[in-house]
Amino acid sequence: MKVISSLILSSLIATAVPFVCVAETVTSSVPYSKEMTLADVSEQVYQRLPGKLAETKYGQLEQANRDLGNALFAEPATANLHLFSDAIGSSNGYQEWESSVDLPLWLPGQKQQQQSLSDKFAAELPAYQQALKLQAAGEVRQLIWQVKLAEAEVEQAKQLWETAKKLLNDVDSRVKAGDLASTERLLASSNSLSAHSTLLDAESRLQSQLKLYQLITGLSALPTDIEETAQVNATLPETHPKLALQEQIIQRLQAQVGLAQYDGAINPNLSVGVKRDRGDRQESYTNSIGVGVSLAFNDKAHRQPAIARASAELADAQVEQQTVYRELTSNLLNFQQRLLSTQQQLRLITEQNDTTQHYFKLQQRAFELGEINLVDLLRSQALANENSNQKRLLEVQEKQHLSQLNQAYGIGFTK
């Protein structure tokens, strides 16, 4: 049974050799640019965000409301022309021509409210842009640190493979010298193939993350300097872009509530006209001029629906503001704790890694002296590799969590 197993393993190794040789040509190095900064990448992503298209609506809304607020009259002026004649009736030659112009007047405070709403739309645009830029910074942080995590896995896998190849060469030499059984070489070969397979898998994940980075950013290289400075704030800043945007939305809706009291109202109307008439054909035309004013009474009920709708939108925005604040505060506390936990784990795993690496070196020496077999050596090597991988992963995660904490604080990238 052992002979059959050895033959099968030998066959697998033999068929894997050509594949290994081809795979060695794979390159997984990450392209970096010293000239590029995180702010550059963030600006590139910001320009490609779907939400960028919505910026134009603020300018259109501002201009439309400003033009209306600057209008001379509350509604378009209208011209009227009337003719009265008895040509179909008594036919005595009676005629009456009347023409007038109706001028809708602004209600007290209505024009100022309209202009105020225009100002609110203008103020909301920068807040919206800052929130978008923070979103872009978050995407950049996510993309870059996923690449860095995958890159760290490749680095560790390469070290593992190099160690496995070195062990295979050592075992092969000792098998040829007669110090070890030939089955030990099969075990070392299997270990090398497993390490190479791990490397190929890590390289594949790295390439996937690089392609995703290129898709979202439109860039082929990453900035060389990506580490961020820790913030000492303990609470969520009031200037957080998402909170600032919600505040601007509420101020704009408050202006809309103020303007809603004029929706459904009837504006005063000033009418100016002239009249030309005669009683019959024997009379001369009489010319006169007239001025009139029309006012609405008790239109409060007609205003209430618009006021209620605007007030409901304002209440929803205030609820959304509180919801956003709670979510941001929760995220901040979460990332603060996550960073602290990672730092604590890193200190412990660093100490543990030093111990396991020292133990592995002792096991290597014992294997060279023939005091232990290959299985025991591989077991200690697996433990050392696991600790080394975890230490490297935590080192990258610490920097990743730091960047996530800055994101939670609402800190973007500026040039």
User: Residue 191 has what pLDDT?
Assistant: 86
Q: Which residue has the tokens 């393993």?
A: 9
Phi, psi of 330 (to 5 degrees): -65, -45
Q: Are 96 and 288 in contact (CB under 8 A)?
A: no
User: Same domain for 229 and 372?
Assistant: yes
User: Same domain for 91 and 10?
Assistant: no
Q: Residue 414 domain-assigned? A: no
Query: Cα(150)–Cα(165) distance, rounded to whole angstroms?
Result: 22
User: Residue 222 has what pLDDT?
Assistant: 95
Q: Residue 291 domain-assigned? A: yes
User: Same domain for 130 and 250?
Assistant: yes
Query: Cα(79)–Cα(265) distance, rounded to whole angstroms?
Result: 22
Q: Residue 385 domain-assigned? A: yes
Query: Cα(277)–Cα(377) distance, rounded to whole angstroms?
Result: 120
Domain tally, the chain: 2
Which amino acid would we find at residue 134? L
User: Same domain for 155 and 89?
Assistant: no
Query: Cα(405)–Cα(98) distance, rounded to whole angstroms?
Result: 75
User: Residue 10 has what pLDDT?
Assistant: 38
User: Same domain for 8 and 83?
Assistant: no
Residue 222, SS3 per DSSP: strand
Q: Collect the ranges in the chain with pLDDT lower than 50.
A: 1-27
Three-state helix/strand/coil letters over 367-381: HHCCCCCHHHHHHHH
Phi, psi of 358 (to 5 degrees): -65, -40
Angle at 198 between CA 146 and CA 377, to 5 degrees: 125
For strands 78-85 and 32-33, give the pairing: unpaired
User: Residue 2 has what pLDDT?
Assistant: 37
Phi, psi of 410 (to 5 degrees): 90, 25
Residue 250, SS3 per DSSP: helix
Phi, psi of 292 (to 5 degrees): -140, 155
CB neighbour list of residue 336: distance below 8 Å, 6 or more residues apart? 405
Query: Taking the mean position of all CA atoms in its chain, how far away is CA 65?
Result: 30
Structure tokens that stand for 413 in this block: 């990238």
For strands 222-223 and 32-33, give the pairing: parallel
User: Same domain for 38 and 8?
Assistant: yes
User: Residue 31 has what pLDDT?
Assistant: 93
Q: Which domain holds residue 279?
A: 77-105+267-298
User: Same domain for 141 and 180?
Assistant: yes
CB neighbour list of residue 30: distance below 8 Å, 6 or more residues apart? 147, 151, 206, 210, 222
Structure tokens that stand for 323 in this block: 């919801």
Residue 54, sorted as left (phi over 0), alpha (psi -120 to 50) or beta, turns out to be: alpha
Determine whether 24 is exposed, middle or buried from the number of CB atoms within 10 Å of its CB (0-12, 13-18, 19+). exposed
Determine whether 284 is exposed, middle or buried from the number of CB atoms within 10 Å of its CB (0-12, 13-18, 19+). exposed
User: Residue 410 has what pLDDT?
Assistant: 93
Which amino acid would we find at residue 338? R
User: Same domain for 183 and 152?
Assistant: yes
Structure tokens that stand for 137 in this block: 């910074």
Residue 247's nearest CA partner among 339, 325, 164 is 325
Q: Residue 314 domain-assigned? A: yes
User: Residue 14 has what pLDDT?
Assistant: 35
Q: Residue 415 domain-assigned? A: no
Query: Any idea what the CATH number is for the domain that residue 244 is in?
Result: 1.20.1600.10
User: Residue 7 has what pLDDT?
Assistant: 35
Q: Residue 208 domain-assigned? A: yes
User: Residue 5 has what pLDDT?
Assistant: 37
Residue 280's nearest CA partner among 96, 94, 97, 85 is 94
User: Residue 289 has what pLDDT?
Assistant: 92
Phi, psi of 225 (to 5 degrees): -95, 105
- List % helix, strand, coil for the chain (3-state, nearest 5): 70, 10, 20
Residue 253's nearest CA partner among 130, 127, 121, 128 is 121
User: Same domain for 222 and 312?
Assistant: yes
Residue 270, SS3 per DSSP: strand
User: Same domain for 288 and 273?
Assistant: yes
**Bridge partner list, 287:** 276
Q: Residue 240 domain-assigned? A: yes
User: Same domain for 363 and 397?
Assistant: yes
User: Same domain for 116 and 238?
Assistant: yes
Q: Residue 404 domain-assigned? A: yes
**Bridge partner list, 272:** 101, 291
